[in-house]
Structure 1
Amino acid sequence: MSTPTPTPSAASSARASEDRSARIAVTIFPALILLAAAIGFFLPDVGQSLAPFTSIYLGVIMFAMGLTLTIPDFSLVARRPLPVLIGVVAQYVIMPLVGLGVTILLQLPPELAVGVILVGCAPGGTSSNVITYLAKADTALSVTMTSISTLLAPLLTPLLTLWLAGSYLPVDAGSMAMSIVQMVLIPVVGGLVVRLLLGGLVARILPALPWISVAGISLVVIAVVSGSTEAIMSAGALVLVAVVLHNGLGYLLGYWAARLLRQGERAARTTSIEVGMQNSGLAATLAASAFSPAAALPAAIFSIWHNLSGAMLAMYYRRTADKHQVDPT
């Protein structure tokens, strides 16, 4: 028995409900992540009880991301290949190299250096799509960039981490690739297939998906922070400086990479957000499992900061959209 296809009005209503839920989630997301960090820091036993299941939390987040995807999201690659290519290449060139540059500039110790570089080698963050929507940039382009960079992560994230961070700590690229396949690729594809088969049912639960992602990342942060309390006490301020530099340069260089390659204002703003916002939940989980809880600290802090900075950037982009003749999404 086939699932009935939602009528246009029902689909529009579901999309509006999803957008409202996403806006609320991204607004209070930083506060929830800060609360999660506080729980992990002051109640480390709670965090350590959650730590063995971080890969499961990430898998749930990625499955939820897959449920939001549709085949037309990928058709943009054929219709507008250049902006998608620019965004994905910038994602995997700018952020890894900036991460390496920040570690050298700040002379970070090996575990923290690997953590910062791993954040840079991660694919685009799922919250970048909501930030793009709020910024009146190109949401469809953002979704496509995030999807493609995520699908490429099993290959590019381990290779780039090995290349850039291998001099700091040993990197098992093969094991990391397999972990990304299990925690990211399979859940995302699974979610996409479920959306194809049960589109009507999934449409009804779309508004809940941002909250599932928020809950999953919060649990990852609690687990990571609980295992790195000593690193926070000794180097928390230094890591925050590294994260702010990494994220800010990602926004700036992502924007200008697109502009220098003759992309329009909306595409440049989208690339800026996509490049600057990373899948910090993946980076934290990989760092904790492949290296140490201290190596996961940069990703945990990045998770807090990039949502704060992304919300501020979206506010600026939205307020200047008319000035730059940016059409609303």
Structure 2
Amino acid sequence: MGKLAKNSQYITRYVSLWVILGAITAFLYPPAFKPFAKDIPYLLAMIMLGMGLTMTPAEFQLVLKRPKDIFYGIALRYLIMPAVAWGVAKALALPPELAAGLILVGCCPSGTASNVMTFIARGDTALSVSVSSLNTLLAPILTPALFLLLGGLIIPVNSAALFSDIVKIIVVPILLGISLRVLANKYVTYIQPVIPAVSVALIVITIGVVVALNAAKLSAVAMIALLAVILHNLIGLGLGYGAAHTLGMSEPKARAIAFEIGIENSGLAAALAIAHLDPVAAIPGAIFSVWHNLSGSALAAYWVKKDHGQLQADDIKAETVSPTH
């Protein structure tokens, strides 16, 4: 298992590379991925099962210890990203299918990559994990409601069908994973090191299917969709970070909240788009899955470098003012 764990870490570390390679392969040879189109809900359910297997009671106990922080994180998550998506879609005059897809991304819960980015950036990882876990469990109610409110202005929305699919894709697998963690903790702990790598493989297949289904149309909309996704993500990261500080949260907390808002469960958005909208509406989710890993990694690296520079400056200042003997 030691070698498998090491390989799993390697695979997880370069998730953006694997997603890009998978997307390129799907674009050049769509038949390799198209047969998996009907399996996307099951692939995402397996990813959510993996998430449930890694959850612990501590993630939910934090609600009792720090309710205000958790409330801020969830409220900002579901206020900022749907509104930003709607604004970007209007500003860029996106076609209805792309606009709906972008708004759906904004209405989905945060992605699990937010926890990794927060850890790398030396943010409040406990807060990040708790907020992402809870906003994911709230998704069956909030995602359809928000998408009906905003996406319903663009295309017809069946919120009941969205609710049903999110329950089946997210809530049931997560609760099953948590139950297995409690009932068979010894075995779950044994396989935990390889769960992230399995999730990466499933994400690559999911995004590959979306690209394959849209290969013929992708070249016509790729640039405007990419611009929309970049704006959506960067504005979300910035507003999340600024809002957290405005609410009096510390720097580590603000970093966690920034990632909780700017990093989406875009795989879920892509799956819902294919099932309930149009394959073109899944394009923003597919692009987001690549882009938010790149932007998140860059931001985390910037904050680490900034902290290192601040420590050096503090050391120099301390040496300057300290008395000599």
TM-score by length of 1: 0.91
- TM-superposed CA distance for 1:305, in Å, is 0.3
Task: Decide which of 163, 167, 170 is 1:177's aligned counterpart.
Answer: 163
Instruction: Tell me how far apart the structure 2 counterparts of residues 19 and 319 of structure 1 sit (CA, whole Å).
Output: 28
What residue number does 1:9 align with? none
Q: Deviations over 1:282-315 (max 9, x none)?
A: 0000011101110000000000000111111111
1:195 aligns with 2:181: yes
Superposed displacement of residue 230, structure 1: 2.9
Shift of the alpha carbon at 1:279? 0.2
Please report how far the alpha carbon of residue 231 of structure 1 lies from its aligned counterpart in structure 2 after TM superposition: 2.8
Q: Number of aligned residue pairs: give it.
A: 310
Change over 3 Å in CA distance of 1:152–1:17 after alignment to 2: farther
Task: State the match for 2:54 in structure 1.
Answer: 68
Q: 1:266 corresponds to which letter in structure 2?
A: P
TM-score (norm 2): 0.92
Whichever residue aligns with residue 220 of structure 1, its letter is: T
CA distance in 1, matches of 2:203, 2:248: 36
Q: Structure 2: where are the runs of 5+ without partners?
A: 312-325
Q: Which residue of 2 aligns with 1:284?
A: 270
Tell me which residue corresponds to 1:141. 127
Shift of 1:320: 2.2
**What code does the residue aligned with 1:228 have?**
N
- How far is 1:321 from its partner? 3.0
Q: Is the 8 A contact 1:26 1:127 kept in 2?
A: no
Letter in 2 for 1:202: V
Once the two structures are TM-superposed, the CA of residue 232 in structure 1 deviates from its matched residue by: 1.2
Over the matched positions of the two proteins, sequence identity in percent amounts to 41
**Amino acid paired to 2:127:** L
CA contact (8 A) 2:45 2:170 kept: yes
Gaps of 5+ in 1: 1-15
AA partner of residue 176 (structure 1):
L
Secondary structure class of the residue paired with 1:166: helix
Give distance in 2, aligned partners of 1:26 and 1:208. 9
Please give the residue correspondences for 1:1-329 in structure 2 after superposition, counting only pairs within 5 Å. 24-322=10-308
Amino acid corresponding to residue 225 of structure 1 in structure 2: V
1:268 and 1:21 map into 2 onto residues whose CA distance is: 32
Is the contact made by 1:17 and 1:207 (CA closer than 8 Å) also made in structure 2? no
Counterpart of 2:307 in structure 1: which amino acid? A
Displacement after TM superposition at 1:20 (Å): 7.0
Q: Secondary structure at the match of 1:321?
A: helix
Aligned-residue CA RMSD (Å): 1.8
* 1:223-243 deviation line (CA, Å, top 9, x unaligned): 111111233111101100000
Give me the whole-angstrom Cα distance separating, in 1, the residues matched to 2:138 and 2:8: 25
Deviation at 1:19, TM superposition (A): 9.6
Q: Is the 8 A contact 2:237 2:261 kept in 1?
A: yes
